[in-house]
Amino acid sequence: MARIDARGKNCPQPVMMTKTHVDAGERELEIYLDNAVSASNVQRYLEKNGFSVRIMDEDGTITIRAEKGGSGTSPRPVSPAAAEALQDAAVLITGKVIGSGDDVLGEVLMKGFLGTLSQIVNPPSVVALMNEGVKLALKNTSSCDHLFALQKKGTRVFVCGTCTNHFGITPDVGAGVISNMFEITEALLSASKRLTV
């Protein structure tokens, strides 16, 4: 039985930690969490992937025990056409946070989004960074690590050169290629699906 200690981890890390073990073929899991939202997310992920789930809450630690082949729902297969469509998607990121109102939360959400994007089976074909979004590609940051992981999976990461020059950070870019408006626009418009963050 695989044991996963996800206490103190921000969303979506508990789900991604669980996914790593599920992808490795683990059939029995015990996951330790310290927040109800993460526990609910992990429970839904496991049930969607064919696990039966039991949850216990003692002294602030939530324990999920899961076994493959129980009463959970079987995962829905992804058709080759759907997988291909996912790979022909482009993501335009124009800021270093998601949303407005609380920049600390927005930064956590952006890092969670990039981390999740880098771990899905069929990542987008293009990620383009513009305006403050280029700061996500700075060396020695977790967001840069996520972008680099996307590149390893074949995602083309374009970083706006006008923007890096404006912020004076061109030498500090650690992921992607410094690009121009023409190349970025062409890549975005040639994708069948586009998402702006």
Q: Are residues 191 and 101 in the same domain?
A: yes
CA 193 vs. chain centroid, Å, equals 18
Give the mean pLDDT of the chain: 87
Q: Are residues 52 and 109 in the same domain?
A: no
For 144-195, what is each residue's pLDDT tens digit? Answer: 999 999 999 999 999 999 999 999 999 999 999 998 888 899 899 999 999 9
**Two structure tokens written together for 35:** 């927040």
Q: In the prediction, which pLDDT does 113 show?
A: 93
For the chain, the domain total comes to: 2
Examine residue 73 and state whether it is found in any structural domain, yes or no: no
Question: Residues, the chain, total?
Answer: 197
For 27-36, what is each residue's pLDDT tens digit? Answer: 999 999 998 8
Task: Write the CATH number for 147.
Answer: 3.40.1260.10
Give the residue among 96, 89, 98 at the shortest CA–CA distance from 120.
Answer: 89
Q: In the prediction, which pLDDT does 67 show?
A: 93
**Two structure tokens written together for 112:** 């969670």
Query: Considering the entire predicted model, what is its pTM?
Result: 0.65
Q: Are residues 163 and 138 in the same domain?
A: yes
Contact 91, 195 (CB under 8 A): yes
Share of the chain above pLDDT 70, in %: 91
Examine residue 33 and state whether it is found in any structural domain, yes or no: yes
Q: In the prediction, which pLDDT does 15 show?
A: 87
Examine residue 74 and state whether it is found in any structural domain, yes or no: no
Angle formed at CA 115 by CA 112 and CA 119, multiple of 5 degrees:
135
For 116-139, what is each residue's pLDDT tens digit? Answer: 898 888 899 999 999 999 999 999
Give the residue among 56, 7, 59 at the shortest CA–CA distance from 17.
Answer: 7
Q: Are residues 39 and 86 in the same domain?
A: no
Q: Are residues 134 and 161 in the same domain?
A: yes
Examine residue 30 and state whether it is found in any structural domain, yes or no: yes
**pLDDT tier at 12 (50, 70, 90 boundaries)?**
confident
Q: Are residues 7 and 93 in the same domain?
A: no
CB atoms near residue 138 (< 10 Å): 19
Task: Write the CATH number for 10.
Answer: 3.30.110.40
- Name the residue range of residue 57's domain: 2-68
